[in-house]
Structure 1
Amino acid sequence: MVPILIGRIQTRLFLLALVGSAVTLALIPLLPGTAALTERYRAAFVVLAAVAVLGIGWELLYHLLMQFRWEKDWPSLFGLLTGVPEGLLLWALLRAGAVPAAGAAPPGWVFAVHFGAVWLAVWLVANGPMRVPFLRWRFRGGRLV
């Protein structure tokens, strides 16, 4: 079953909240920074929330683009590679100060490591372990609720 739009949005938000938060909690203390750890966590979770909000817009765009494909779906690798334009847009918004409450943009490599680790973990869970606790997930068009 091809995930429907609302199913992809639900899955994205669920995985960002669960897996993205876990990766962020584990990774942020390992990344260098001059601010206090609580401030770095706050900024990282603001970025994670921005990924979730921007992701809804991206899902709408991807849904439109998928209508031109015969199968009306992306190959799985495209799902991984879509992190590149999403990450670049978010980085540009952070640099422009367009993400409220994020503070100063982190160094580029710190952002890339955090965003890349979260994106890879979410993609891996969505394409593997997600199917174990949610047996009917793919038959319901990716909807969780």
Structure 2
Amino acid sequence: MTPTLHGRLQTRVLILGALGTVIAVLVTPLLPMGRLSVAQGYRVTLTVLAAVILVGAGWELVYHGVQQFRWDKDWPTLFGLVTIVNEGLLMWLLVRYTTVVLPRGLRPPAVAFGLDFTLTWLAFWGFVNGPIRVLLPRWRYNGGRVI
């Protein structure tokens, strides 16, 4: 079954929130945060994660609209992976050049942002295309809805 918009939103919020938090907790002390302390690093990574989840809801609406032009109303798996580019670029612009996500004093170095975002996105994409089907066998047949 093709995931519905509601199912994709649920999956993004719940899985990215849970998995992203675990990754942020494990990876943040290892990131090259420059002048930021570990506590500030956690604030940055968890705030950016929350922003990715919120902005991601908007992305899901865009993706849903574009999918309506496809005959099967779904993305090939590779498209789901490639969305790291547009989502990461938009998030980097929001983090680096605005104060919408983070105040000026807490902006992470590009390398730290890139590593954290890439690791989180690849873990999310890999989980949704593999282990979730074992852990939540009805997920696929419920249009991607988790609850």
Normalised-by-shorter TM-score class: over 0.9
Match of 1:129 among 131, 134, 138: 131
Structure 2: 5+ residue stretches without partners:
none
Amino acid in the other structure paired with 2:133 = R
Q: Percent identity?
A: 48
d(CA) in 2 for partners of 1:97, 1:86 = 16
Residue pair 2:84, 2:121 contacting (<8 A) in 1 also: yes
1:48-96 deviation digits (Å, cap 9, x = unpaired): 0000000000000000000000110000010010011000001011112
- TM-score, with structure 1 as normaliser: 0.95
Alignment of 1:9-28 (within 5 A): 9-28=9-28
1:17-53 deviation digits (Å, cap 9, x = unpaired): 1111111111111112222211110111000000000
Alignment of 1:56-135 (within 5 A): 56-101=57-102, 103=104, 104-135=106-137
Structure 1: 5+ residue stretches without partners:
none
Residue pair 1:43, 1:102 contacting (<8 A) in 2 also: no
Residue pair 1:3, 1:142 contacting (<8 A) in 2 also: yes
d(CA) in 1 for partners of 2:102, 2:138 = 38
SS at match of 1:82: helix
Q: Could you tell me how far 1:99 is from its partner in structure 2?
A: 2.5
Runs ≥4 residues deviating over 6 A: none
Amino acid in the other structure paired with 2:85 = V
- TM-score, with structure 2 as normaliser: 0.94
SS at match of 2:18: helix
